[in-house]
């Protein structure tokens, strides 16, 4: 059985520290990507709201035109 020395413990801790730093780096990159995805989703939601607003305006105009021309469904 190998002897456990301070040097061996130090090497193991350094190895663990390096691995942890790599994990933190990957996590930071994933976080940045998630933020970009959230921004894209919010942009799409804004587009949908704008389209719904335009559609509502068109429906209002169409209803006014129908009422001015006395068009009704029989």
Whole-number pLDDT of residue 1: 63
How confident is the model over 23-46, as pLDDT tens digits? 999 999 999 999 999 999 999 999
Mean pLDDT in residue range 55-59: 97
How confident is the model over 10-27, as pLDDT tens digits? 999 999 999 999 999 999
This prediction has a pTM of: 0.63
Whole-number pLDDT of residue 71: 84
Complete DSSP assignment for the chain: -----HHHHHHHHHHHHHHHHHHHHHHHHHHHHHHHHHHHHHHHHHHHHHHHHHHHHHHHHHHHHHHHTT----
- Cite the beta strand spans of 1-74 per DSSP E: none
């Amino acid at each position: 059985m190998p002897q456990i020395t301070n040097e061996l413990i130090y090497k193991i801790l350094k190895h663990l520290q390096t691995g942890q730093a790599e994990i933190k780096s990957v996590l930071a990159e994933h976080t940045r990507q998630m933020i970009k995805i959230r921004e894209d989703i919010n942009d799409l939601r804004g587009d949908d709201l704008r389209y719904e607003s335009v559609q509502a305006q068109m429906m209002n105009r169409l209803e006014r035109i129908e009422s001015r021309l006395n068009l009704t469904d029989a």
